[in-house]
Amino acid sequence: EEQEEDTLRELRLFLRSVTERLSRDRRFKAFTKPVDLEEVPDYITVIQHPMDLSTILSKIDLHKYVTAREFVYDMDLIWKNALEYNPDSDPADRQIRHRACALKDTVHAIIRDELDEDFNRICERIRDSR
């Protein structure tokens, strides 16, 4: 009903604010757009589920997320993919792994600090009812 739509609109506003904050952070530049599969043809052979911040922003606007949990699942894909694709000891791999870990820590800290537990429970109940 109307209250549910008001709740989901507020969730989208929060998720957009988080995603845009991350997209402005210089450390996360490599995560802002899909990996170019023409530039990196082996990427799709290693990573089954590519994800990036612009795709998450599009999914927010397509009303794909009814809970923060679904949003965090996609955010976790971004840094997990980067760790999987960059396992080597060379400096380029180490740098992107460090940035992937920073993304993980930043996302989880924002959700811990800024998502109200009761608001989250209301979203989870809407999700369960659908």
Asked if residues 53 and 23 have their Cβ atoms less than 8 Å apart, the reply is: yes
Is the torsion defined by CA of 111, 55, 58, 121 positive or negative?
negative
Choose the stretch contacting ligand BQK; rule: CB under 6 A; options: 6-14, 15-23, 84-92, 115-123: 84-92
- Indicate which single residue of 2, 3, 38, 92 sits in contact with ligand BQK (rule: CB under 6 A): 92
Choose the stretch contacting ligand BQK; rule: CB under 6 A; options: 1-9, 30-38, 67-75, 113-121: 30-38
Question: Is residue 14 helix, strand or coil?
Answer: helix
Residue sitting closest to ligand BQK (CB): 30
Asked if residues 54 and 32 have their Cβ atoms less than 8 Å apart, the reply is: yes
Cβ distance to ligand BQK smaller for residue 62 or 92: 92
- Find the shortest distance in angstroms from Cβ 80 to ligand BQK: 10
Residue among 32, 30, 50 at smallest CA distance from 42:
50
